[in-house]
């Protein structure tokens, strides 16, 4: 209820943008669903853009039109949410999706991304994800990939241009 009141207070000034940082943390799934409905209703009624910062991919799938995936403090892939969910083009996005439970898929086990995130003070040289990436090659160790358009609808920061076949690297 306190979180709802906070959101109501934030919307009283009719802001153009509402930034919600982990707004569903520590809520049970029922209250979480109510919160997400509230977000949708309020943003539709007020015409407010919602910037949602979260680790919960289920929340992203339920609310966001567009999605930006961050790693090592930088955007590594962005585009329409359904495009990234169904056809990720960055190895980190792919790994995130495979390490998240999905009630629609029967899986013997989840596959976490191996290794640990880097310290922001000591990012690896080249691509920050390269110590954990199954698709890395020589260039990844030396040069940081810029965020570049891949298609009309998305951008990614990755040197790898081939197919991301998860089964081959899992
Ligand atoms: S640039 Fe290289 S190391 Fe980084 S995500 Fe792409 S393939 Fe992996």
Helix (H) or strand (E) holding 69: strand 66-71
Domains of the chain: 1-64 (3.40.50.300), 79-170 (no CATH)
Q: Is 76 in the pocket of ligand 1 (CB under 6 A)?
A: no
The protein residue whose alpha carbon is closest to atom 7 in ligand 1 is 136
Predicted local distance difference test score (pLDDT) of residue 111: 80
pLDDT tens digits, one per residue of 52-66: 999 988 889 888 999
Q: Is 132 in the pocket of ligand 1 (CB under 6 A)?
A: no
Number of alpha carbons in the 13 Å side-chain half-sphere of residue 67:
23
pLDDT tens digits, one per residue of 136-150: 999 999 999 999 999
End-to-end CA distance of the chain: 42
Enter the tokens of residue 125.
């040289």
The protein residue whose alpha carbon is closest to atom 6 in ligand 1 is 158
pLDDT tens digits, one per residue of 60-106: 988 899 999 999 999 999 999 999 999 999 999 999 988 887 766 66
């Amino acid at each position: 209820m306190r979180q709802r009141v906070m959101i109501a207070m934030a919307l009283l000034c009719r802001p153009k943008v509402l930034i919600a940082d982990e707004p569903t943390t520590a809520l049970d799934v029922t209250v979480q669903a109510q919160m997400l409905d509230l977000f949708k209703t309020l943003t539709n009624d007020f015409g407010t853009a919602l910037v949602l910062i979260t680790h919960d991919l289920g929340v992203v799938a339920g609310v966001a039109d567009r999605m930006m995936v961050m790693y090592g403090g930088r955007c590594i892939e962005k585009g329409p949410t359904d495009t990234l969910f169904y056809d990720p083009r960055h190895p980190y996005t792919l790994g995130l999706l495979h390490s998240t439970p999905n009630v629609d898929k029967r899986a013997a086990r989840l596959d976490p991304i191996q290794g640990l995130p880097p310290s922001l003070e000591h990012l690896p040289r080249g691509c920050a994800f390269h110590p954990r990436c199954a698709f890395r090659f020589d260039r990844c160790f030396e040069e940081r990939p810029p965020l570049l358009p891949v298609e009309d609808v998305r951008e990614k920061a990755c040197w790898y241009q081939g197919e991301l076949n998860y089964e081959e690297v899992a």
